[in-house]
Chain A
């Protein structure tokens, strides 16, 4: 059902921080004040970072342009960057190459050009299928733009596409969410990412909620929304292969899964995160600072952490449990030369007793109930959760 990577398969993440406007809920690393004139310099810095990077020894399987709004960057710049990738790994054949897009920033020509550049998977940020919600979120597009973007993507020959949507919006009703789900399904996406709205400190959304100007739906209503996603998507053949992600069989995002399988990934661009072996590191968040440092030949790394052996095993567990298929015991053993059943004996027994996990001969995975309260399970594996 979902892909099994080789231990040393790795991915490449490229952060494109540019946006035309900032969504009310967004606390990602984005900038709205830098125009297209800045894009070449930024892509040059990204390319430079790539050329200087030490590459993991395995096989590159995925490239993901995330943002921000990667679709704002002109296709030739993406093409040029991908050429530099080819220069180091030989070929892009067989890779999943995803580009995130805002429906308000694309047209047929542009999408065709991205396809030409090598992009074979498009992620479209729909978020909602009601204009008033889109407006309230400060999205720059309407519902019509979403339909058009999907049409153009298909016309451009990008056959694999994803739609993003958010539930639990201020004033969101179950009926509206059902309407959104049905509209999304009618577009026949290969993949759907459904997120519960998170109120992040410092965002206009958080401010509105605090002031009482924005009213979030009740906890039970939001839970209903999550349950309705399953009720509508499952009959259409979608499988929830990971907590927030649904796909038609065989269309699971490779890139998304790399994060949960403890495979390496290299992050390029401002505020991008990388992981390899036992080390996580991230680059300067400030876009200008990132570009200046890169141009000056200075280090662009802002911070890093090294995971102890214990921490690695714990992370492996709770990250792996995000996938429907769970943690494959032989892979745990392969990686750590230890048995997960022994390392986490007490925790696993306890969680099984609570009915939150299924622990069979080959895998440990969340039960149906565990799926609902995944954080409850994960908390057993963070910090002093080891038994």
Chain B
């Protein structure tokens, strides 16, 4: 295809503003799929994505469109829609020349709208505002247009759309052709292709999703990944329509995939540059960053026999998930397991759910934590990704924790509530500005560890669901942090240790001990629960001893039923982890997540 007749674009939006539905309509309208082939949200191919209504992996689909009698090749790159995957989004945007910025006609501009817009502008993309859901009774496009002006866009350029009812789709396609520039790039130059995603296919090996920036790629070429210098021979090239369809070659400006008998996605890191071995590029494309997990959690099989199966399952998931890391770890309380690293909490939940659902594993997941950078008195710097591994206080010079810059958009009535929440979470005030007469944007710097748990839930409940939230990682900052241990029956349960701010340690300890008392069932003996910092006990609760545990009436000699009841109870016990003499249910290890803020 003539380079001038190619358009590469993506759709960016705040969650639930209708990104996937718009994508569906574009696919349908260009005849890429017939209506009968359409399943809702075609691009979200994983079950979990569909269930949660979120896109986890990026996708790309080629649409054939005729504009003013001329064929045009449109490549729609769908991006992950969650803050956990910001880096992945930025690489997908780098593969485009333009973006459709979808805004809900009733909700207006939200935090993610802004974050996405800024990211698109950073990549010099042409931004086409699309006001979606104009069919809603409470739609107010005029107000949204005003807000667009407020955030620096030309409101008159906005296209009014109802993706659900198919209104305005043609206008969107025309705008893509007319307002987005064709790809630049040097067709005769050495190959440079940007990897924006990859997926493991059981038959072909890894399918690498690329945007060809310079040069071209065809079957049989030997290519090299510039980040790790690994070389592979291309066995297949194709495009998504939206199902993979083999073609001969990908030229400058085009988007598609290739396969080269690559066994693991670890070799195909998003953001890396693919070049040709025979005519290699001198410089890779800018912006590459190795995978960097932000959140860590211990994964332990409930049944220690399942350790091998858990490892295999993690290895399999890793084939298709370059951001997932794991290494063996041993806990005194939980035995053998893994410390796994994730991009964020959503990523963790998805992996955990897939391990349980697809691999049938019963897991104990310890409360997630961030990575701390610990400077020791003896002039060493440690990375601590497990609270139990935090060195004794006396050895520590300073602990630094990851922080984020958060943007919160909320109706101005809730500014106070939002600021209060941010203060409770050790936030540093940065800025406050007004989007319009009624809505404000509040900026705070917050410790990542403080927003991991129920921050968003709290934000929603304190603003009656009106606030939106987005953040980006902003480095490390020192903080007065301490390790808090939990003792059950006088013994430290390492899997329950947490890192907390010294000023809040007492409240946290008390709240955690109380929550554990609720979650740990009565045992044969009384179980003291203590929270301790160093040798000092900061909180104490007691799980009383079980007083009675008896079966009542035996109805007409139905022993079978009684036995089944006992067997069921026994099965329930088996799901618990026995630590010392204490049987601890799975939920208890996540207790810290369920502790409401002590305010």
Contacts and interface: CB of A to CB of B under 8 A. Distances in A.
B554 interface: yes
Interface in B519-578: 522, 524, 544, 546-560, 563, 566-567, 569-571, 573
Interface stretch (A216-224, A288-296, A332-340): A216-224
A273 interface: yes
A382 B573 CA distance: 13
A374 B549 contact: yes
B9 to A, nearest CB: 52
Interface string B248-290: 0000000000000000000000000000000000000000000
Interface string A359-386: 0000000000000111110110011010
Nearest to A272: B556
B172 to A, nearest CB: 50
A15 B555 CA distance: 10
Interface string B151-195: 000000000000000000000000000000000000000000000
Interface in A181-206: 193, 195-198
B563 A315 contact: yes
B566 A382 contact: yes
A354 interface: yes
A267 interface: yes
B524 A373 contact: yes
A282 interface: yes
Interface residues of A, number: 42
Interface string A16-49: 0000000000001000000000000000000000
Nearest to A224: B547
The size bracket of the interface on B is 20 to 34
Contacts of A378: 551, 566
B557 A379 contact: no
Contacts of B553: 193, 195, 198, 244
Contacts of A305: 560
B569 A375 contact: yes
A13 interface: yes
Contact of A382 (B544, B549, B557, B570): B570
Contacts of A315: 559, 563
Interface string A110-126: 00000000000000000
B556 A13 contact: yes
A375 B549 contact: yes
A222 B548 contact: yes
Given A198-B552, A373-B524, A379-B566, A273 B559 contact: yes
Contact of B559 (A193, A219, A220, A280): A280
A35 B344 CA distance: 66
A259 B554 contact: yes
Interface in A279-319: 280, 282, 305, 315, 318-319
Interface in A57-95: 66
A356 to B, nearest CB: 8
Contacts, number: 95
Contacts of A197: 552
A382 B548 contact: no
A196 B552 contact: yes
A224 to B, nearest CB: 9
A376 B550 CA distance: 8
Chain B contact residues: helix, strand, loop or mixed: loop
B71 to A, nearest CB: 63
A373 B549 contact: yes
Contacts of A223: 547-548
Contacts of B550: 196, 226, 243-244, 372-375
A238 interface: no
A220 B567 contact: no
A273 B557 contact: yes
A271 B556 CA distance: 9
A265 interface: yes
Contact of B552 (A195, A265, A274): A195
B574 to A, nearest CB: 9
B566 A375 contact: yes
Given A222-B548, A226-B548, A372-B549, A273 B560 contact: yes
The CB with the most chain A CB atoms within 10 A, among B554, B557, B570, B573, is that of B557
Interface string B117-135: 0000000000000000000
A104 B37 CA distance: 68
Nearest to A311: B563
A328 to B, nearest CB: 19
Contacts of A372: 547-550
A50 interface: no
A243 B571 CA distance: 23
A226 B551 CA distance: 13
B557 A13 contact: yes
Contacts of A318: 566
A282 B555 CA distance: 12
A382 B563 contact: yes
B557 A275 contact: yes
A13 B557 CA distance: 8
A379 B556 contact: no
B82 to A, nearest CB: 36
B559 A15 contact: no
Contacts of A243: 550-551
Given A66-B556, A315-B559, A385 B547 contact: no
Contact of B548 (A267, A274, A275, A373): A373
A379 B569 contact: yes
B469 to A, nearest CB: 34
The CB with the most chain A CB atoms within 10 A, among B552, B556, B566, B573, is that of B556
A385 B558 contact: no
A219 B547 contact: yes
Interface string B509-526: 000000000000010100
9 contacts: A13-B556, A195-B553, A243-B550, A243-B551, A282-B558, A356-B524, A373-B524, A374-B549, A379-B570
Given A13-B556, A223-B548, A379-B569, 18 more contacts: A195-B553, A197-B552, A219-B548, A267-B557, A272-B556, A273-B560, A275-B557, A280-B559, A305-B560, A373-B546, A373-B548, A375-B550, A375-B569, A376-B549, A382-B563, A382-B567, A383-B566, A385-B570
Report the 4 A-B pairs with minimum CB-CB distance, sorted nearest first. Answer: A223-B547, A373-B549, A195-B552, A375-B549
